[in-house]
Amino acid sequence: MEFKYTLDQIDELARQLLVHFTNKTILFYGEMGSGKTTLINALVKALGSSDVATSPTFSIVNEYELSNDKVYHFDFYRIESIEEALNFGIEDYFSGDNWNFLEWPERITELLPKDSNSILITKLEDKSRSLKLTITNKNLTENNAMTVPKF
């Protein structure tokens, strides 16, 4: 599924995305400054948290409270090796039943759950963003297979 959106549409986009996720591990791809953390903040808000999502670049993971759940927000930009991710227990997060939002997941590709949903954000020249959502459920991958309102 593809969306084009601006910052003033991000809260509605977050609500729409939540309807289509097939699991709780979401991978966020995009250049530095493309809006990954901004979208994650909108998703955390849409999930009902009063926490403000900020980039966990130096801490690697931030935790946000929901009424009956948690969101773990990872930033692997500064990860030097797979061993670093294993040392802080990334596999434990993946085996849990909480939300996992991962920025820079390409740094730990071999550890990623196979049924993760992926979001690719691209900055456009008119200051809007293009978002491509890839939904993976077991052995099925869907791209542009659902009808979703365009922004």
pLDDT in tens, 83-118: 999 998 999 999 999 999 999 999 999 999 999 999
Q: And the tokens for 111?
A: 């550890």
CATH 3.40.50.300 fits domain 2-142: yes
Beta-carbon contacts of residue 87 (< 8 Å; ≥ 6 apart): none
* Domain residue ranges in the chain: 2-142
**What percentage of the chain reaches a pLDDT higher than 70?**
90
* pLDDT for 137: 61
Residue 86 gets which letter from DSSP?
Answer: H
Angle at alpha carbon of residue 63, lines to 68 and 108, rounded to 5°: 115
Average pLDDT, the chain: 89
Gap between the Cα atoms of 88 and 81, Å rounded = 12
* pLDDT for 57: 80
